[in-house]
Structure 1
Amino acid sequence: MDLYNSSFWMDFFEGMMKPVASTAVVVMALILSFSQKLALEAEMIHATVRSFLQLSVVGFVLQFIFAQKNAGWVLLAYFFMVCVAGYTAGQRAKLVPRGKWIAGASILTGTAATMLLPIALNVLPFTPQYFVPVAGMMVGHAMAVTGVTMKKLHEDIRIQKNLVETALALGATPRQATKQQVKSSLVMALSPDLDSVKTVGLITLPGTMTGLIMAGASPLEAIQLQIVITNMLVGACVVSSIASAYLCLLVFFTGSFQLDQKVFAMD
């Protein structure tokens, strides 16, 4: 990427004309919001401008990383995504102590295992063009399920605190005492993704498959990569959500196997 090359900038600005023109649909949405008195105009503008700027910056960053052909830059991009995802998921579960660290560790565990296995099996090549986009999808889905798992588990244990404490008093370990709450939180977090996997290709064409087809690849080639990515998404979500649930138990209970009352103080 030669930033000092005038032809590069000419091609860039020429290519950006289509994204700019596509904001016409946002203007339509703004008009509808205003006519219906939804008061969402400011939020729409903020979201649109922010996404435009973020994607533009990401485009330059990825262009730079792809040009380097260096594994260090690829892994740096991956760890950056994990850190941002961990912070975001931790924010969703604010009542979980050290929630950001738990979310980050869970997302790292789930996505790393899910990325390494296909690479080891030579299913996915370890190149920036493959690894960074696929890792982004894995991290994004893992972030969503991790945040829901942590928040739901905290809520369920707080609501059913008496049942958990009774089980503990009868000699159960924290994991045994919260077995049903953990199961409920995992089912709640994973169900949307599993439902999406069940209907993939029937209701909507996934983004990866759509992008490949629009880029000129044959539909058969597109579905092969999409199946790989779909399987990886399932693995990343399941591993990350389970990891977050059991890591939460470490901060929900004291060293003497008692519920930490400060964590579950009723509002």
Structure 2
Amino acid sequence: MQATIDISWLTVSLFLLTLVIPAAINAYFRLKLGKEIVTAVARMTIQLILVGLYLGVLFELNNPWLNIAWLLVMVLVGASAILSGAKLPKRALFSPLAIALSAATFPLMVLLLIVLLQPSPFYSAQYLIPLAGMLLGNGLSGNIVALQRLFSAFSEKKADYESALVLGATPRQAAWPFVQSALQQSQAPILASMATTGLVTLPGMMTGQILGGTDPMIAVKYQLIIMVAIFVMLSISVTIALLLTLRVALHSTGYIAIKQLSHE
């Protein structure tokens, strides 16, 4: 297998000139996304370079406490990003989201690192950080979809919810169909992706390994494990996030608390 081909920064800079195409589309159709495009590309470039430099140091030091601290930072930033994406108040829901992500990520990381992959040492930053990043990164969109779906249901189906309360249902029982719908919506994209992986798409992890010179069947094994881990992590985190969010939002006052939380 061919070794990984390095790319010079000059080549990378020249390739970035292809951004002229989306910029031209933005100008022609008057999408007014110029500022957002420039900001997104600039932030992505700066953040990736800084992370690359930091991870280089992190891999070299390979200190377990630094690795765990970085993992905690990833979880906290992920919780904040979910609430920002779902446009929900961080003050009330940050803790439930952080708990949900932690409860889903940490046990799976233990299973992946200690039982399956067994790197030496088991806390190796080379494995811990990228795997945690893939789990959390893929869990963000699912949690955003779930929370948006949950709170939009209280707005769109307010009559159904209040009717259930009038008929004697508890707030939790009245909201249960909304939780079920949110879970279904959040899992639909990952299930569709899993169903077409290998036939329609080659995921980033597998593609990166193959480009890096890894045997295709070894890349397949890694991809199979990580896809299952992502699905399990998403299922656990979304379920816990919905249940804890519902508990915070409803407590003992039913729809009024949901309405106040949604507009906080």
The equivalent position to 1:90 in structure 2, one of 58, 72, 83, is: 83
TM-fit CA distance, 1:202: 1.5
Work out the CA distance in 2 between the residues paired with 1:16 and 1:154: 45
Offset of residue 170 of structure 1: 4.3
Q: Contact 1:89/1:146 (CA < 8 Å) preserved in 2?
A: yes
* TM-score (structure 1 length as normaliser): 0.86
**Cα distance in structure 2, aligned partners of 1:38 and 1:163:** 39
- List gaps (5 residues or longer) in structure 1: 1-11
Task: Check 1:163–1:145 CA distance in 2 against 1; reply closer, same or farther (3 A cut).
Answer: same
What are the ranges of 5 or more consecutive residues in structure 2 without an aligned counterpart? 1-5
TM-score, structure 2 as length reference: 0.87
By how many angstroms is 1:38 displaced?
Answer: 3.5
Change (3 A) 1:165 1:225: same
1:130 counterpart residue number? 127
The answer for the alignment partner of 2:258 in structure 1 is 263
Q: Distance in 1 between matches of 2:209 and 2:34?
A: 34
Give the residue type in structure 1 aligned to 2:228. Answer: N
In the TM superposition, 1:208-219 aligns within 5 A as 208-219=205-216
Code of the residue aligned with 2:259 in structure 1: it is F
CA RMSD of superposed structures (Å): 2.3
Aligned residues between the structures: 253
Query: How many Å separate the matches in 1 of 2:158 and 2:138?
Result: 30
Query: Which residue number corresponds to residue 219 of structure 2?
Result: 222
Measured in 2, the distance between the counterparts of 1:81 and 1:165 equals 39
Q: Identify the residue that residue 195 of structure 1 maps to in structure 2.
A: 192
The Cα of 1:226 is off from its aligned counterpart by 0.7
Q: Match for 1:101: what amino acid?
A: S
Does the CA-based 8 Å contact 2:172-2:250 persist in structure 1?
no
> How far off is 1:121 after superposition?
2.1
Equivalent residue number for residue 180 of structure 1: 177
**Counterpart for residue 66 of structure 1:** 59
Q: Deviations over 1:206-227 (max 9, x none)?
A: 1011111111111111111111
The separation in 1 between residues aligned to 2:30 and 2:168, in whole angstroms, is 58
Tell me if 1:106 matches 2:103.
Answer: no
Q: Deviations along 1:128-178, whole A, 9 cap, x unmatched?
A: 111101100111122221122122111212333343344345443443322
8 Å CA contact 1:107–1:146 kept in 2: the answer is: no
Where is the helix percentage greater, Structure 1 or Structure 2? 2
Percent identity between the aligned chains?
Answer: 28
Query: In structure 2, do the counterparts of structure 1 residues 197 and 124 end up closer, same or farther at CA, with 3 Å as the change threshold?
Result: farther
Question: Which runs of at least 4 in structure 1 moved beyond 4 Å after TM superposition?
Answer: none
1:116-137, Cα deviation, whole Å (9 max, x unpaired): 2223423453321111011001
Larger relative contact order, structure 1 or 2 (CA cutoff 8 Å, min sep 6): 2
What is the DSSP-based 3-state SS (H/G/I as helix, E as strand, rest coil) of the residue aligned with 1:31? helix
